[in-house]
């Protein structure tokens, strides 16, 4: 559940319809804390920047640590733009609460109190131009 949410929220190509569909699916897996983060990013123009720069964002999950109902998610985000690739460390935390299973939430869990603890740049690479 935790990995699925992060995949839907952070794997984003420069395709407005795909971004909208993916984020709609992600919102079924998280409480208002995820909706707040989505709205903040949208207001800052984050998704428009993805589209205008033709950036491709992908997330490689490193691990998920679960202790009772709390989790820590560790991953590496890759942001590919025209001439550069940036790698960022991603660490998030939250709690898991059981809810009834549904078509939109097949695991019967919802992430609550989700927040990003670390999203710092690890390194930048210049892409080769031929």
What are 42-62's pLDDT values in tens digits? Answer: 999 999 999 999 999 999 999
Q: How far apart are CA 117 and CA 45, in angstroms?
A: 21
Yes or no: say if 9 and 71 are a contact pair by the CB < 8 Å rule: no
pTM of the predicted model as reported, rounded to 2 decimal places: 0.92
What are 57-98's pLDDT values in tens digits? Answer: 999 999 999 998 899 999 999 999 988 999 999 999 999 999
pLDDT band at 130 (very low <50, low <70, confident <90, very high): low
């Amino acid at each position: 559940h935790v990995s699925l949410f992060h995949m839907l929220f952070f794997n984003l190509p420069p395709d407005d319809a795909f971004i909208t569909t993916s984020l709609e699916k992600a919102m079924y897996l998280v409480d208002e804390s995820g909706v707040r983060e989505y709205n903040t990013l949208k207001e800052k123009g984050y998704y428009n920047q993805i589209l205008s720069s033709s950036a491709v964002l992908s997330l490689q999950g490193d691990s998920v640590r679960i202790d009772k109902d709390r989790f820590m998610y560790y991953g590496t985000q890759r942001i590919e733009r025209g001439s550069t690739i940036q790698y960022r460390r991603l660490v998030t935390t939250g709690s898991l609460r059981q809810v009834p299973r549904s078509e939109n939430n097949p695991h019967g869990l919802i992430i609550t109190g989700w927040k990003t603890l670390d999203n710092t740049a690890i390194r930048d690479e210049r892409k080769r131009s031929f």
